[in-house]
Amino acid sequence: MPGLEDLYREIILDHHRNPRNRGELAPPASHAVGHNPLCGDEIDVYLDVTDGVVSDVKVGGQGCSISQSSASMMSQAVKGKPVDEVRALVRRFKGMMSIPDEDGNPIEPDPSVKLGDLEALQGVVKFPVRIKCATLAWNTLLEALEQR
């Protein structure tokens, strides 16, 4: 059995205890709600995009340490980034989580996309049940991008 230290890295617990970018954004910001039907967790992602750049992002909702810290780190990582870079980051992150692409093929890591702190979530793949927790915020982010 993989040890819990692979899952609950200190940086993850820090984001869990002190989540960044918590709150809401008023319309016309886009807003998507993500559900994890297995555990009932919910996550809200609010997104302001100005001139093709994610100018602001806020996160709401409730969830476990993995879903909350992933959301918090996601908000830090995408804020200020152009939308195409955000999409590339989502793809890279999902690849790290062993999620295949639309055709069911593994996602090859793109070395030009830097994960930074997000690499702390790598240990989640050793706990397959928790992958949905880690990807919830990212899928919700994609939904918020689609709404624009």
Partner 1 sequence: MTNAQLDVAAIKAQFPLLQRELNGAPLVYLDSANTSQKPQSVIDAMSTFMEQSYAPINRSAYQLASEATDAYEGARTKVQRFINARRDREVVFTKNATESLNLVAHSWGRANLREGDVVVLTQMEHHANIVPWHMLVQEKGIQLRWVPLTADGQLDLTTLPQLLDGAKAFSFTAMSNVLGTITPVQQLCAAAHDAGAIAIVDGCQYVPHNVTDVQAWGADFLAFSSHKMCGPSGVGVLWGRESLLDAMPPFLGGGNMIADVRFDGFTTAELPAKFEAGTPPIIEVVGLGAAIDFLDGIGMASIRAHEAHMAALAIATLTERFGDDIQLHGSTDTEVRGATFSFAFRGIHPHDLSQVLDQRNVCVRAGHHCAKPLMRLMGVNATARASFYLYNDEHDIDVLADALDGATDIFGF
* Residues in contact with partner 1 by the rule CB under 8 A: 1, 4, 7-8, 13, 38-42, 62-66, 68, 127, 130, 133
The span from the CA of 61 to the CA of 3, in Å, is 28
Q: Work out the end-to-end distance of the chain between its first and last CA atoms, rounded to an integer number of angstroms.
A: 43
Residue 44: CB minimum distance to partner 1, A: 13
Q: In this complex, which beta carbon is closest to partner 1, that of residue 67 or of residue 139?
A: 67
Q: In this complex, which beta carbon is closest to partner 1, that of residue 29 or of residue 59?
A: 59
Q: Amino acid letter at 13? A: L
State whether the Cα torsion 35-85-56-130 is positive or negative. Answer: positive
Q: In this complex, which beta carbon is closest to partner 1, that of residue 11 or of residue 64?
A: 64
Residue 131: CB minimum distance to partner 1, A: 12
Q: In this complex, which beta carbon is closest to partner 1, that of residue 55 or of residue 65?
A: 65
Contact 22, 6 (CB under 8 A): no
Residue 43: CB minimum distance to partner 1, A: 10
State whether the Cα torsion 79-83-88-94 is positive or negative. Answer: positive
Q: How far is CA 118 from CA 20, 69, 104, in A?
A: 14, 10, 23
